[in-house]
Copies of this chain bind each other. A is one copy, B any other.
Amino acid sequence: MTEGADPEVQSAAAAVTKRPRVTLADVATKAGVSAATVSFVINDKPGVTITEATRKRVLRAVRDLGYRPNAMAKNLAQGHSRFIGLVADAIATTPFAGQIISGAQDEAWKHGYVLLVANTEGNPEAEKEAIAMMLEHKVRGILYSTWFHRSAEIPDALREAPFVLVNCFGEQGDDVAVVPDEVQGGYAAARILLEKGHRRIAFINSDLPAPATTGRLEGYRSALAEFGVAYDPALVLRSAPDQEGGYLAAQELLAIEQPVSGVFCYNDRMAMGLFDALRERGMTAPRDIAVVGFDNQEVIAGHLRPPLTTVALPHYELGAEGVRALLNRTPARGVVRVECPTVERQSA
């Protein structure tokens, strides 16, 4: 295609390319006022009073010119940016990181901040680069998040800015961290079963060491205690925290002499495996056995047969609470635990 063959394309490109970059100064000229005045009206600065007439004049100049303030110049002049950094370790594998981002963004925007997110896939190199990038953008602070609740070694660079840990916590525990309340979650899960009258309740736990593993067990035990049910170690199984693990544990569970009437699964994926085992035996929840999961991983929990009653991991809240903690600088240290809400569907 020869030059000028397609005028339409050319002009479209030009429209984008030579975009005149209208500045505040242009607006001032057009409105016949000073730059300061324009700045005052577009930010309607408290304290200064502008005549209705000039305000109108400025506003229409802004509109006519299609003026967009330059955020970078603004930030520079003000001496600080409106950025909050968010580093995530696994944005591509589960919706969890997305939920954290979503919560963080909503809360950040509410305060006039915009999120600078970086996915590191747990790669230390990428992590370092991401933090450096954020520091160079002079972020107000950084949220360091993980996709599952765990302890994390904090990169040194992180300490160059205010930061809060989200869904993880430091080795020494003297940083501010926002995490799910695993104990309360485990308690809530067991309690659902208890309230339906079940007394022989199994817990298919994870076999991996993690705060969720110990926390949910603790919650399960305290719920039993509250209902006067003796804790029976034979009823807590351990298995890999996925569908296969759930299926395997189910075989074991369904073979024990005195059958349980309810089971709390460490997560929804294990519950999915359990459902498979049940179905192979012609059994179904809650008719033959009541089951409660954990995580509220929608694609699973919302669509199992029957839909799974579960306890939700509060990722959205974790993100939102993270920026709140960052902005308010409260607490000054220590961890805040966010409640895991119950989601009743039809399996219990």
* Chain B residue with Cβ nearest A79: B21
Whether a CB of chain B sits under 8 angstroms from the CB of A341 is no
Query: Distance in Å from the Cβ of A248 to the closest Cβ of chain B?
Result: 11
Whether a CB of chain B sits under 8 angstroms from the CB of A122 is no
Q: Are A68 and B316 in contact (CB under 8 A)?
A: no
Contact of A98 among B69, B81, B92 (CB under 8 A): B92
Cα–Cα, bound, A304→B76 (Å):
53
Interface residues on chain A, size class: 35 or more
Contacts of A276 in B (CB 8 A): 279, 305
Query: Distance in Å from the Cβ of A243 to the closest Cβ of chain B?
Result: 4
Cα–Cα, bound, A113→B119 (Å):
14
* Chain B residue with Cβ nearest A244: B303
Cα–Cα, bound, A136→B67 (Å):
10
Query: Distance in Å from the Cβ of A132 to the closest Cβ of chain B?
Result: 7
Q: Are B137 and A71 in contact (CB under 8 A)?
A: yes
Whether a CB of chain B sits under 8 angstroms from the CB of A194 is no
Q: Which of A1-31 contact B (CB under 8 A)?
A: 9, 13, 16, 19
* Chain B residue with Cβ nearest A17: B162
Q: Are A101 and B91 in contact (CB under 8 A)?
A: yes
Q: Are A243 and B297 in contact (CB under 8 A)?
A: no
Q: Are B98 and A91 in contact (CB under 8 A)?
A: yes
Contacts of A136 in B (CB 8 A): 68-71
Q: Are A119 and B137 in contact (CB under 8 A)?
A: no
Query: Distance in Å from the Cβ of A313 to the closest Cβ of chain B?
Result: 12
Whether a CB of chain B sits under 8 angstroms from the CB of A207 is no
Given A71-B137, A116-B116, A247-B305, are A92 and B300 neighbors across the interface (CB < 8 Å)?
Answer: no
Whether a CB of chain B sits under 8 angstroms from the CB of A117 is yes
Contacts of A19 in B (CB 8 A): 160
Q: Are A93 and B92 in contact (CB under 8 A)?
A: no
Contacts of A162 in B (CB 8 A): 16
Q: Which residues of A contact B (CB under 8 A)?
A: 9, 13, 16, 19, 66, 68-73, 75-76, 81, 91-95, 97-99, 101-102, 105, 109, 114-119, 121, 129, 132-133, 135-138, 160-162, 242-244, 247, 269, 272-273, 276, 279-280, 297-300, 303-305, 316, 332-333
Q: List 26 A-B contacts (CB under 8 A).
A: A68-B135, A68-B136, A68-B160, A70-B136, A70-B138, A71-B136, A72-B72, A72-B81, A91-B101, A91-B102, A93-B95, A93-B98, A94-B299, A95-B95, A97-B98, A98-B98, A114-B116, A115-B118, A116-B116, A117-B117, A242-B303, A243-B305, A269-B299, A269-B303, A276-B279, A299-B300
Given known contacts A76-B76, A300-B300, what 16 new A-B pairs fall within 8 Å (CB)?
A: A9-B332, A69-B136, A72-B75, A72-B138, A91-B98, A92-B95, A92-B99, A92-B316, A94-B95, A94-B98, A94-B299, A114-B116, A115-B117, A116-B116, A269-B299, A279-B279
